[in-house]
Amino acid sequence: MACAAEPALPASRHCLRARARQRHVIRGHRWLRVCVLLGTLLAAACGEDAPRLPPLAEGDTVLAFGDSLTRGTGAPRGQGYPEILGTLIDRPVVNAGVPGELSAAGRARLARVLDEVRPALLLLCHGGNDLLRRRDGAHTARELTAMIEMARARGVAVLLLGVPAPGLLLSTAEFYHDVAAATATPLQADAIADVLGTAALKSDPVHPNAAGYRVIAEQVRNALEEFGAL
């Protein structure tokens, strides 16, 4: 006697199963990234070389997160460093800069952006407004550290970009070096300080112009090559 056909599942149950499979795949990719990232960090910790970044795959998304220096204030729309960097590395770079934002507000915003964008790499350029407002450097360092840990918990590698403290002779604030060392995070320390120390590359005392953002993008691209992401 022929067996009766199994009744078809309702469409809603099909959707639930499909969504469950999708969540499983996403979690698998996230854990794979976490494992790769942990391996990279452990290799750096056991050796004497500078921290490394996992290689970016073709099509991987990069998240540029920060304040007006990330947004591109001082240059025409679309000529900030993230947009230029995207063309240099042939990968999508999402610009998530919010002008005027303090590091505490950035930390509060970052989780949502990470979960929406799901990047392979975070370019973290934050703390400039803390410096302009003379906020305590130890506080900013804690916020930066929390943001790095937040990204790594999601399997996202981090490149930290240093910002200079206000002054006649610009140099990156010391706490960026401290955070980079304490968290074994690659640091691009000089690009923004060098640009803001060059009158021809600035639109105002604290923002680059389009040419300045191009220099920053080129230096970030060079850092990605140096640290192994490209």
- The domain limits of the chain are 62-226
DSSP state letter for 174? H
Mean pLDDT across the stretch 213-230? 98
Asked if the model's pLDDT at residue 207 lies above 70, the reply is: yes
CA 34, 35, 36, 42 dihedral sign is positive
CATH of 62-226, one of 3.40.50.1110, 3.40.50.300, 3.40.50.150, 3.40.190.290: 3.40.50.1110
What's the confidence (pLDDT) of residue 46? 43
Give the C-alpha separation, 190 to 222, whole Å.
12
What's the confidence (pLDDT) of residue 7? 41
Model confidence, pTM:
0.80
Mean pLDDT across the stretch 141-166? 97
Give the C-alpha separation, 104 to 119, whole Å.
21
What's the confidence (pLDDT) of residue 5? 41
The identity of residue 81, as a single letter, is Y
